[in-house]
Amino acid sequence: MSNDDDRLIAYGVWDAPTRWFHWINALSVFGLILIGILIMCAGSLGISPTGRVTVKTIHVWIGYVMILNLLWRFVWAFRGNRYARWRAILPGGKGYARALEAYVSTFLAGHPKHYLGHNPAARLAVLIILVLLVVQGVTGLALAGTDLFYPPFGGTIARWIAAPNVDPSMLTPLTRDLMDPGAYAEMRSFRSPFIETHEITFYALVAVTVLHVVAVIMTELREGGTIVSAMFTGRKILPGRPEDL
Protein backbone atom coordinates (compact mmCIF):
# COMPACT_ATOMS: atom_id res chain seq x y z
CA MET A 1 0.00 0.00 0.00
CA SER A 2 1.29 3.47 -0.81
CA ASN A 3 2.11 5.81 2.03
CA ASP A 4 1.25 9.51 2.15
CA ASP A 5 4.55 10.46 0.49
CA ASP A 6 3.57 8.47 -2.62
CA ARG A 7 0.33 10.33 -3.29
CA LEU A 8 0.20 12.26 -6.54
CA ILE A 9 -0.67 15.90 -5.92
CA ALA A 10 -1.26 18.64 -8.49
CA TYR A 11 0.49 21.92 -7.74
CA GLY A 12 0.23 25.25 -9.54
CA VAL A 13 3.66 26.42 -10.69
CA TRP A 14 4.04 28.17 -14.07
CA ASP A 15 1.96 31.30 -14.58
CA ALA A 16 0.57 32.11 -18.02
CA PRO A 17 3.19 34.73 -19.03
CA THR A 18 6.00 32.29 -18.21
CA ARG A 19 4.36 29.57 -20.30
CA TRP A 20 3.82 31.94 -23.23
CA PHE A 21 7.47 33.03 -23.04
CA HIS A 22 8.68 29.43 -23.06
CA TRP A 23 6.80 28.37 -26.18
CA ILE A 24 7.38 31.60 -28.12
CA ASN A 25 11.07 31.32 -27.30
CA ALA A 26 11.16 27.64 -28.28
CA LEU A 27 9.51 28.32 -31.65
CA SER A 28 11.71 31.37 -32.28
CA VAL A 29 14.95 29.56 -31.49
CA PHE A 30 13.91 26.53 -33.57
CA GLY A 31 13.05 28.80 -36.51
CA LEU A 32 16.28 30.77 -36.17
CA ILE A 33 18.33 27.57 -36.11
CA LEU A 34 16.65 26.20 -39.25
CA ILE A 35 17.00 29.46 -41.17
CA GLY A 36 20.55 29.91 -39.86
CA ILE A 37 21.47 26.55 -41.36
CA LEU A 38 19.82 27.61 -44.63
CA ILE A 39 21.85 30.85 -44.67
CA MET A 40 25.11 28.98 -44.08
CA CYS A 41 24.27 26.50 -46.85
CA ALA A 42 22.93 29.12 -49.29
CA GLY A 43 25.92 28.81 -51.63
CA SER A 44 25.77 25.03 -51.96
CA LEU A 45 21.98 25.19 -52.35
CA GLY A 46 22.28 27.65 -55.24
CA ILE A 47 20.18 30.36 -53.60
CA SER A 48 20.38 33.61 -55.56
CA PRO A 49 21.60 36.89 -54.02
CA THR A 50 18.00 38.14 -53.90
CA GLY A 51 16.90 34.90 -52.29
CA ARG A 52 19.64 35.22 -49.67
CA VAL A 53 18.42 38.70 -48.77
CA THR A 54 14.88 37.32 -48.37
CA VAL A 55 16.06 34.47 -46.16
CA LYS A 56 18.16 36.84 -44.03
CA THR A 57 15.20 39.20 -43.70
CA ILE A 58 13.00 36.41 -42.37
CA HIS A 59 15.81 35.46 -39.99
CA VAL A 60 16.02 39.03 -38.69
CA TRP A 61 12.27 39.35 -38.12
CA ILE A 62 12.17 36.11 -36.15
CA GLY A 63 15.17 37.44 -34.23
CA TYR A 64 13.21 40.54 -33.31
CA VAL A 65 10.44 38.31 -31.92
CA MET A 66 12.99 36.36 -29.87
CA ILE A 67 14.61 39.52 -28.48
CA LEU A 68 11.33 41.20 -27.53
CA ASN A 69 10.12 37.99 -25.93
CA LEU A 70 13.39 37.70 -24.00
CA LEU A 71 13.17 41.30 -22.78
CA TRP A 72 9.62 40.64 -21.62
CA ARG A 73 10.84 37.59 -19.67
CA PHE A 74 13.49 39.71 -17.94
CA VAL A 75 10.76 42.10 -16.81
CA TRP A 76 8.52 39.24 -15.71
CA ALA A 77 11.36 37.83 -13.59
CA PHE A 78 10.70 40.79 -11.27
CA ARG A 79 6.90 40.59 -11.35
CA GLY A 80 5.92 36.95 -11.88
CA ASN A 81 5.04 34.36 -9.28
CA ARG A 82 7.74 32.93 -7.01
CA TYR A 83 8.78 30.27 -9.53
CA ALA A 84 9.16 32.81 -12.35
CA ARG A 85 11.45 35.20 -10.44
CA TRP A 86 15.21 35.54 -10.72
CA ARG A 87 15.97 33.88 -7.41
CA ALA A 88 14.09 30.76 -8.53
CA ILE A 89 15.48 30.45 -12.05
CA LEU A 90 19.17 31.34 -11.64
CA PRO A 91 21.80 29.44 -9.66
CA GLY A 92 23.06 30.88 -6.40
CA GLY A 93 21.69 31.92 -3.07
CA LYS A 94 21.93 30.44 0.41
CA GLY A 95 22.27 26.68 0.37
CA TYR A 96 22.38 26.38 -3.41
CA ALA A 97 25.62 24.37 -3.56
CA ARG A 98 24.31 21.83 -1.04
CA ALA A 99 20.99 21.59 -2.87
CA LEU A 100 22.78 20.99 -6.18
CA GLU A 101 24.97 18.27 -4.68
CA ALA A 102 21.97 16.60 -3.07
CA TYR A 103 19.91 16.74 -6.25
CA VAL A 104 22.67 15.28 -8.45
CA SER A 105 23.43 12.47 -6.01
CA THR A 106 19.78 11.48 -5.61
CA PHE A 107 19.17 11.75 -9.36
CA LEU A 108 22.07 9.40 -10.10
CA ALA A 109 20.82 7.05 -7.38
CA GLY A 110 17.47 6.81 -9.16
CA HIS A 111 15.28 8.61 -6.60
CA PRO A 112 15.73 12.34 -7.31
CA LYS A 113 14.35 15.08 -5.12
CA HIS A 114 11.26 16.71 -6.59
CA TYR A 115 11.02 20.44 -7.34
CA LEU A 116 8.03 22.45 -8.46
CA GLY A 117 10.15 25.06 -10.21
CA HIS A 118 13.58 24.54 -11.73
CA ASN A 119 15.71 22.04 -9.88
CA PRO A 120 19.26 23.14 -8.93
CA ALA A 121 20.83 21.58 -12.06
CA ALA A 122 18.20 23.13 -14.32
CA ARG A 123 18.97 26.57 -12.88
CA LEU A 124 22.52 26.24 -14.18
CA ALA A 125 21.12 25.34 -17.60
CA VAL A 126 18.80 28.36 -17.53
CA LEU A 127 21.75 30.68 -16.89
CA ILE A 128 23.70 29.22 -19.83
CA ILE A 129 20.70 29.45 -22.16
CA LEU A 130 19.94 33.06 -21.18
CA VAL A 131 23.57 34.11 -21.72
CA LEU A 132 23.62 32.46 -25.15
CA LEU A 133 20.32 34.10 -26.13
CA VAL A 134 21.56 37.54 -25.05
CA VAL A 135 24.80 37.12 -27.01
CA GLN A 136 22.88 35.95 -30.08
CA GLY A 137 20.46 38.83 -29.76
CA VAL A 138 23.15 41.52 -29.45
CA THR A 139 25.36 40.15 -32.23
CA GLY A 140 22.31 39.50 -34.38
CA LEU A 141 21.20 43.12 -34.11
CA ALA A 142 24.69 44.23 -35.11
CA LEU A 143 24.67 41.93 -38.13
CA ALA A 144 21.16 43.01 -39.12
CA GLY A 145 22.44 46.57 -39.20
CA THR A 146 25.63 45.84 -41.15
CA ASP A 147 24.04 43.40 -43.59
CA LEU A 148 20.46 44.58 -44.16
CA PHE A 149 20.62 48.09 -42.64
CA TYR A 150 17.85 47.16 -40.21
CA PRO A 151 17.22 48.86 -36.83
CA PRO A 152 18.56 49.71 -34.39
CA PHE A 153 22.00 50.18 -35.99
CA GLY A 154 21.18 50.09 -39.69
CA GLY A 155 20.75 53.82 -40.16
CA THR A 156 24.14 54.55 -38.62
CA ILE A 157 25.82 51.88 -40.74
CA ALA A 158 24.17 53.17 -43.92
CA ARG A 159 25.37 56.71 -43.25
CA TRP A 160 28.86 55.35 -42.61
CA ILE A 161 29.23 53.51 -45.92
CA ALA A 162 27.09 55.54 -48.31
CA ALA A 163 29.06 57.02 -51.19
CA PRO A 164 29.30 60.82 -51.39
CA ASN A 165 26.03 62.47 -52.45
CA VAL A 166 24.11 59.21 -51.96
CA ASP A 167 21.05 59.16 -49.71
CA PRO A 168 21.80 56.43 -47.09
CA SER A 169 18.15 55.37 -47.11
CA MET A 170 18.65 54.17 -50.69
CA LEU A 171 21.15 51.50 -49.67
CA THR A 172 20.24 47.83 -49.80
CA PRO A 173 22.48 44.74 -49.61
CA LEU A 174 22.40 44.61 -53.42
CA THR A 175 23.35 48.24 -54.14
CA ARG A 176 27.12 48.00 -53.76
CA ASP A 177 27.55 50.69 -56.41
CA LEU A 178 26.01 53.22 -53.99
CA MET A 179 28.55 52.46 -51.26
CA ASP A 180 31.94 54.00 -50.65
CA PRO A 181 34.48 51.17 -51.22
CA GLY A 182 36.83 52.27 -48.44
CA ALA A 183 34.07 52.74 -45.87
CA TYR A 184 32.49 49.46 -46.93
CA ALA A 185 35.78 47.62 -46.35
CA GLU A 186 36.11 49.23 -42.91
CA MET A 187 32.55 48.23 -42.06
CA ARG A 188 33.18 44.62 -43.10
CA SER A 189 36.25 44.55 -40.87
CA PHE A 190 34.20 45.97 -37.99
CA ARG A 191 31.51 43.34 -38.66
CA SER A 192 33.87 40.36 -38.65
CA PRO A 193 34.05 39.67 -34.87
CA PHE A 194 30.26 39.91 -34.62
CA ILE A 195 29.92 37.24 -37.32
CA GLU A 196 32.44 34.97 -35.61
CA THR A 197 30.78 35.35 -32.21
CA HIS A 198 27.31 34.83 -33.71
CA GLU A 199 28.40 31.62 -35.44
CA ILE A 200 30.17 30.19 -32.38
CA THR A 201 27.19 30.98 -30.18
CA PHE A 202 24.90 29.47 -32.82
CA TYR A 203 26.63 26.10 -32.52
CA ALA A 204 26.64 26.36 -28.73
CA LEU A 205 22.93 27.15 -28.73
CA VAL A 206 22.18 24.16 -30.97
CA ALA A 207 24.14 21.90 -28.60
CA VAL A 208 22.46 23.32 -25.49
CA THR A 209 19.02 23.03 -27.11
CA VAL A 210 19.58 19.35 -27.86
CA LEU A 211 20.88 18.77 -24.32
CA HIS A 212 17.87 20.62 -22.90
CA VAL A 213 15.43 18.36 -24.74
CA VAL A 214 17.34 15.24 -23.68
CA ALA A 215 17.49 16.45 -20.06
CA VAL A 216 13.75 17.16 -19.99
CA ILE A 217 13.00 13.68 -21.34
CA MET A 218 15.36 12.01 -18.85
CA THR A 219 13.99 14.03 -15.93
CA GLU A 220 10.42 13.29 -17.00
CA LEU A 221 11.18 9.56 -17.08
CA ARG A 222 13.12 9.60 -13.80
CA GLU A 223 10.86 11.92 -11.81
CA GLY A 224 7.50 11.47 -13.50
CA GLY A 225 6.71 15.08 -12.74
CA THR A 226 4.75 16.03 -15.87
CA ILE A 227 7.38 18.62 -16.80
CA VAL A 228 6.24 19.01 -20.41
CA SER A 229 2.50 19.15 -19.70
CA ALA A 230 3.13 21.69 -16.92
CA MET A 231 4.34 24.15 -19.56
CA PHE A 232 0.88 23.89 -21.12
CA THR A 233 -1.33 23.64 -18.04
CA GLY A 234 0.77 25.48 -15.45
CA ARG A 235 0.37 22.56 -13.04
CA LYS A 236 2.79 19.82 -12.01
CA ILE A 237 1.71 16.48 -10.61
CA LEU A 238 4.25 15.22 -8.08
CA PRO A 239 4.42 12.45 -5.50
CA GLY A 240 4.53 14.05 -2.09
CA ARG A 241 5.84 17.43 -1.07
CA PRO A 242 8.38 19.13 -3.41
CA GLU A 243 11.59 20.65 -2.04
CA ASP A 244 10.66 24.21 -3.07
CA LEU A 245 7.02 24.36 -2.03
Residue among 106, 111, 125, 93 at smallest CA distance from 205: 125
pTM above 0.85, yes or no: yes
Q: What average pLDDT does this structure show over 161-170?
A: 96
Residue among 147, 99, 144 at smallest CA distance from 120: 99
Residue 3 clears pLDDT 60, i.e. is over it: no
Is residue 24, in this structure, part of any structural domain at all? yes
Q: How far apart are CA 32 and CA 26, in angstroms?
A: 10
Residue among 168, 206, 201 at smallest CA distance from 184: 168
Q: What average pLDDT does this structure show over 233-245?
A: 85
User: Is there a contact between 179 and 163 (Cβ–Cβ < 8 Å)?
Assistant: yes
Report which DSSP code applies to 109: T
Supply the range of the domain harboring residue 84. 17-239
Q: How far apart are CA 24 and CA 69, in angstroms?
A: 7
Residue among 132, 113, 116 at smallest CA distance from 207: 132
Percentage of the residues of the chain whose pLDDT score is greater than 90: 77
Q: List the single range of 137-141, 185-189, 196-200, 235-239 with lowest mean pLDDT.
A: 235-239
The pLDDT of residue 224 is 61
What is the total count of domains within the chain? 1
CA atoms within 13 A on the CB side of 25: 25
For residue 190, name the pLDDT band (cuts at 50, 70, 90).
very high
Which segments of the chain does DSSP mark as H helices, in order? 16-40, 42-45, 49-79, 86-89, 96-108, 120-147, 154-161, 181-223, 227-233
To the nearest 10°, report the CA torsion of 191, 192, 198, 200: -170
Write out pLDDT tens, residues 100-119: 999 999 888 878 888 899 99
Q: How far apart are CA 67 and CA 202, in angstroms?
A: 15
Is residue 226, in this structure, part of any structural domain at all? yes
What's the CATH code of the domain at 146? 1.20.950.20
The pLDDT of residue 78 is 97
Report which DSSP code applies to 11: E
For residue 200, name the pLDDT band (cuts at 50, 70, 90).
very high
The pLDDT of residue 223 is 65
Cβ-based neighbours of 107, under 8 Å, separated by 6 or more: 113, 121, 222
CA atoms within 13 A on the CB side of 120: 19
Is residue 139, in this structure, part of any structural domain at all? yes
The pLDDT of residue 7 is 76
Q: How far apart are CA 32 and CA 9, in angstroms?
A: 38
Q: What average pLDDT does this structure show over 158-163?
A: 97
- Phi and psi dihedrals of 87, rounded to 5? -65, -15
Is residue 9, in this structure, part of any structural domain at all? no
